[in-house]
Structure 1
């Protein structure tokens, strides 16, 4: 079904309406004899326009209609059929906004150095046009954790958070089978760290040092991390394995190519990589141009020894399908925001 271009490009002229794949069929009827609209709409030309169409909009010359949400003086007009189609969508958005007074139209992502320059100028222009914008200089208060505020801002924005999370089936299996043990190991490691901090405090205190290291923010850190993991699992789309993925993973192990290493059981890691590469390849073939990021903290397997750079072979494999690597969520966020 053809989609009307009016919401994006407008129908400011007869040529624009004629070029629209959804409206070009009615163009001849409207402009050739000014007939062909359904009941309830004027079928004759009126230079002053007529009022009272059934869509709740206002018709204006040549059978065009100005919907109720169109600002005064806007040059964009819609056909009555377009108004009838778009009005329910607009009503639904307005109802959602009424129930969420803090909802913003967009989230403004910018470089730190631009916050008082180009980002501020863009924010002011958007606000002047009636767009509700989440902007760090306005919405990020003193003493508020930055990452938490950004996450809340993204959640409160209608646009700007179009993030799709893909999780290889092998990863979901690993999480389901090992999350309890990992949670216990993390808690034990945290307790060991806190005990070391206490011993250091005792030593430096004996030498008269002031101001102990504050670690209160780590209390309950493991228990807080579990809901975050659960949320990622909930929103993720599982990438299933197939025979092709398994075959390529087996070949990667035998060669070996990153993340496979001799003397290490690497099949699961290779299955994960091949699953993501295949998914990315299919998405790119379907026309997707958005950035893709492979996030893994397993840098020991992916980085070249004693460096912070990917092994050459895995870098080439990811680049072939347009995937960037990120060793943590902060790096992934940075790559996606560029």
Structure 2
């Protein structure tokens, strides 16, 4: 098949492309700035086309001649992304229809019950637009946390564990999650593109169900670190998000949106799930110990890649013995953090 990959420079897209090539498929990679494709080892094996999802004509031209369109665009780095992604989805659906694609494949997020964060709302809205505004069948896979070096959710947990000997445990963190390995995501997406098209959604999950605290403990164990938790039942999302972003060095809006999504059970529907082969522990272990070959032709999709953002990878563990107290340690980490959090920590620690 000839596959078009939007989000080619993103986490999933950059790992999907070499696996598509390895499976014998031809690939068209969409880049807003085609010159940036040279940073990927697979660049000379694909057709790179200029592609701007905010421009309907650009999207239509980029998809010409393609059989399957992979929609892998999702960015939470700035406000207003919900509307931008809705427009992008409409342009992508129209472009796939004009190109005569036999199917679209979209990686979405699990949709839990209750009030959704902007992050999950956007995922669902894109799914509905792709499904309702084009006659091209859309195969939607809803995933929760993707476990693999370079995944935003993965790096958030890793960097918090590495940089904080005492981890805050807000009440909203006590939910279940069914994470899926990056290698399983890539495999399932390829199999979908190769299959007879169907229209609708399936949850894409791993074989392991844990609570978020259990997942955090698993990370600590695989990183060889001893970590304890501190209950902070009244810690709000709006305080936790910016502080976690400061600690991890990751984009604030992205981290805050992910934190808000943790207030739900993110597990698959047992009646409508594709279950991966790789358990959570193996997925984390391969991600933190493997050489960075994530986008190489024969690489391990669980691992990092040179093209990942600079906040991916080892986060310089902070375990300084000279700090007098846990509160003192947190104060050092959170210099400039909101006074509300400082006061809550002070009260919690007595």
Q: Is TM > 0.5 for Structure 1 vs Structure 2?
A: no
Greater helix fraction, Structure 1 or Structure 2: 1
TM-score (norm 1): 0.24
Larger Rg belongs to? 1
Q: Highest relative contact order (Cα 8 Å, sep 6+), 1 or 2?
A: 2
TM-score (norm 2): 0.24
